A = this chain, B = another copy of it.
Amino acid sequence: EELADQGGTALQYPVDYGGAGNPGAAIAAFETTAHGDLSLTVKIGVQFGLFGGAVLNLGTKRHHDRWLRDIATLRLPGCFAMTETGHGSDVQSVGTTATYEHATRELVVRTPDDASRKDYIGNALHGRMAAVFCQLVVDGEGRGVHCVVVPLRDTSGALLPGVGHEDCGEKLGLEGVDNGRLWFDDVRVPVDHLLDRYAQITPDGRYVSAIENPGRRFFTMLGTLVMGRVCVGAAGLSASKNALAIAVRYANRRRQFGPPQGGEESLLLDYRTHQRRLLPLLARTYALHFAQEQLTRMAHASFTADDPPEREQRQLESLAAGLKAAATWHATQTIQECREACGGAGYLAENRFAALKADSDIFTTFEGDNTVLMQLVAKSLLTDYKDQFEELDAVGMVGFVTSQVVETILERSFARQLSQIVVDFIPGTEESADPRERDYQLALLRWREEHITSSAARRLKRWTDEGHDAFAVFQSVQDHVVEAGRAHLDRVLLEHFSAAVARCATPELATVLDRLCDLYAVSTIHEQRGWFLEHGRMTPARAKAFTQAIGRLCFELRPDAERLVDAFGIPDVLLGAPIATAAR
């Protein structure tokens, strides 16, 4: 309530409704809040982002006039009731119905069974209204998923007739968020509670929509909710930054073991294993940071444009899905590694990892399960691939796939291994294999992405041609497709990091960032070296060069490590970890 009073929680709303008309600022505010407390952050996200966002983006002026200002000030607390007990990722199959009744011009909202209860809903205890996603039925015909605003409680907090509520009970984390279940026993709302930006019920009771295809309508509606994913990715990134700031600063203070004949004990950060644990994660955090910056710019542009081009919208959705998954998986991994790197001290609640770990854990699941999101990313890649494929002849195609025709030819022929061995042993051409050459790194990650994507496309096409049904076909290449999504993200991150280095105007800083970017690229390629070797794109000698480069880069970056986490600019009070803020 205090934050809402200060106006900092609804910056994305139009000025007329108490906002600042600035979606980019809203994302930045969310990212910043996440350095502090994640329960508070998620509560803000539910109220102003999801609930208010549904009213803003799926509703029309009438809805905005009626509710948005009260949402912005928190006078009207609400829920975003999409997920059901039986349907999480598969939103299209939710069971809740809203049936239009001609006589009364009302929508009758019903939960047909336990599996159709709205579940895990944030603000379920405090919410006075809910944006409920349900199957709209008009004249006995199912029109697919739409969003209806349903009052839950009166101003005293008492549940309204027909509304059921139950708390989700204790959770792994985010105990500051009141997650609960909601169900509706023929709850009636006036038809104007349908958020009708994309589909309307006319005064004479007909269902109309400018988007004829039901699937496209559904995805258009869902697309407007992309902001949730952008914000969760940002919050995951903030959590990673906190964890790394604590672990790196601790490692630069804590000493353990030393030369047997006395002398000062070594700082943890001077141990190779410790550098290898923390610094590649730091590098990837920076990579995610620069990509997230770009995503924020894209989201801001999209939500301030009158009519954003569909292609840009699709790119935004794909990047938001991919970065959400990448940033939150990274957060889980990073927080865990940092906790372990702080030993017993990391297990004490006062040093913050308890909260970071518990509260961020669900990030990999909510606002889209990460594995499902990676498949969305891959679907978008495959669509792009198909589009470009159709524009190219066979020769251009080869260029598209690899950008390096000669390598492609090598890869396809038995001769490649012989040739690469030759390359490997002829001094002078070895220079092209320097793991720290940016163009080489980019070429490797691009080639990997294209190769995995195109081979997934070929498998999909072949099996479809053979007459298998689409669901079975996609299921059969599912892991391949998820791999394509991951490969895509690895490449995108490097491009954004690389661009940030190029933009950097301070030479001294550029040198450090360049090194960190190398560490991101080299450790990512190293992790995938099995794949590169398997596909004849790398010789054993080159692969070993990558292994050695990681150690060297860690060593070179070690003196700058603490400055690199200080640069996140997290105030000590938000870091909230005594082990990180002790004097050196």
Residues of A that sit less than 8 Å from B by CB: 83, 87-90, 93, 119-120, 168-173, 256-260, 265-266, 270-273, 276-277, 332, 336, 339-340, 343-344, 346-350, 353-354, 357-358, 361-362, 364-366, 369-371, 414, 417-418, 421, 425, 469-472, 475-476, 478-479, 482, 526, 528-531, 533-536, 540, 543-544, 547, 551
Q: Is the CB of B88 within 8 A of A256?
A: yes
Give the CA-CA distance A358 to B354 in the complex, in Å. Answer: 8
Q: Is the CB of B362 within 8 A of A172?
A: no
Q: Is the CB of B83 within 8 A of A273?
A: no
Q: Is the CB of A344 within 8 A of B119?
A: yes
A128 CB, min distance to chain B CBs, angstroms: 24
Q: Which of B172, B531, B533 contacts A349 (CB 8 A)?
A: B172
A410 CB, min distance to chain B CBs, angstroms: 13
Given A90-B256, A273-B478, 17 more contacts at CB 8 Å? Answer: A170-B354, A172-B348, A172-B354, A172-B357, A260-B470, A332-B336, A336-B336, A339-B361, A344-B362, A347-B361, A354-B358, A357-B357, A358-B358, A417-B417, A418-B421, A533-B543, A534-B547
A166 CB, min distance to chain B CBs, angstroms: 12
Give the CA-CA distance A358 to B356 in the complex, in Å. Answer: 12
Copies of this protein in the complex? 2
Q: What are 11 A-B residue pairs whose CB atoms fall within 8 Å in the complex?
A: A83-B344, A89-B257, A172-B348, A173-B354, A257-B471, A273-B479, A336-B336, A347-B361, A418-B421, A526-B530, A534-B544
Q: Is the CB of A540 within 8 A of B534?
A: yes
- Residues from chain B with Cβ under 8 Å of A90 in the complex: 256-257, 265
Q: Chain B CB within 10 Å — which of A89, A256, A530, A543 has the most?
A: A530
A476 CB, min distance to chain B CBs, angstroms: 7
Residue of B nearest to A471 (CB): B259
Q: Which of B88, B332, B471 contacts A344 (CB 8 A)?
A: B88
A216 CB, min distance to chain B CBs, angstroms: 14
With A88-B343, A535-B540 as known contacts, state yes or no: A171 contacts B260, CB within 8 Å: no
Give the CA-CA distance A361 to B346 in the complex, in Å. Answer: 10
With A417-B421, A471-B259, A479-B272 as known contacts, state yes or no: A171 contacts B534, CB within 8 Å: no
Classify the secondary structure of A's interface with B.
helix
- Residues from chain B with Cβ under 8 Å of A369 in the complex: 343
Give the CA-CA distance A350 to B425 in the complex, in Å. Answer: 60
- Residues from chain B with Cβ under 8 Å of A119 in the complex: 344
Q: Is the CB of B350 within 8 A of A170?
A: yes
Q: Is the CB of A343 within 8 A of B365?
A: yes
Identify the 8 closest CB pairs spanning chains A and B, nearest first: A530-B530, A170-B349, A533-B533, A172-B354, A529-B530, A259-B471, A534-B543, A120-B344
- Residues from chain B with Cβ under 8 Å of A529 in the complex: 530, 533-534
Q: Is the CB of B340 within 8 A of A364?
A: yes
Q: Is the CB of A171 within 8 A of B347?
A: yes
- Residues from chain B with Cβ under 8 Å of A361 in the complex: 339, 347, 357
Q: Is the CB of B533 within 8 A of A479?
A: no
Give the CA-CA distance A414 to B270 in the complex, in Å. Answer: 37
Residue of B nearest to A275 (CB): B479
Give the CA-CA distance A318 to B418 in the complex, in Å. Answer: 43
Residue of B nearest to A547 (CB): B534
Q: Is the CB of A172 within 8 A of B120?
A: no
Give the CA-CA distance A258 to B173 in the complex, in Å. Answer: 31
Give the CA-CA distance A349 to B171 in the complex, in Å. Answer: 4
Q: Chain B CB within 10 Å — which of A357, A476, A551 has the most?
A: A357
- Residues from chain B with Cβ under 8 Å of A173 in the complex: 347, 354
Q: Which of B370, B472, B540 contacts A536 (CB 8 A)?
A: B540
Give the CA-CA distance A184 to B271 in the complex, in Å. Answer: 32
Q: Is the CB of A366 within 8 A of B339?
A: no
Give the CA-CA distance A364 to B340 in the complex, in Å. Answer: 7
- Residues from chain B with Cβ under 8 Å of A370 in the complex: 340
Residue of B nearest to A526 (CB): B530
A81 CB, min distance to chain B CBs, angstroms: 14
Give the CA-CA distance A173 to B172 in the complex, in Å. Answer: 11
Q: Is the CB of A414 within 8 A of B418?
A: no
With A90-B257, A533-B533 as known contacts, state yes or no: A172 contacts B540, CB within 8 Å: no
- Residues from chain B with Cβ under 8 Å of A547 in the complex: 534
Give the CA-CA distance A344 to B370 in the complex, in Å. Answer: 12
Q: Is the CB of A348 within 8 A of B87?
A: no
- Residues from chain B with Cβ under 8 Å of A354 in the complex: 170-173, 358
Q: Is the CB of B172 within 8 A of A471?
A: no
Residue of B nearest to A362 (CB): B347
Give the CA-CA distance A357 to B359 in the complex, in Å. Answer: 13
Q: Is the CB of A534 within 8 A of B533?
A: yes
Give the CA-CA distance A157 to B414 in the complex, in Å. Answer: 78
With A273-B482, A535-B540 as known contacts, state yes or no: A168 contacts B260, CB within 8 Å: no
Q: Is the CB of B169 within 8 A of A266?
A: no
Q: Is the CB of A366 within 8 A of B344?
A: yes
Q: Which of B171, B271, B418, B533 contacts A478 (CB 8 A)?
A: B271
Q: Is the CB of A276 within 8 A of B479?
A: yes
- Residues from chain B with Cβ under 8 Å of A348 in the complex: 168-172
A407 CB, min distance to chain B CBs, angstroms: 15
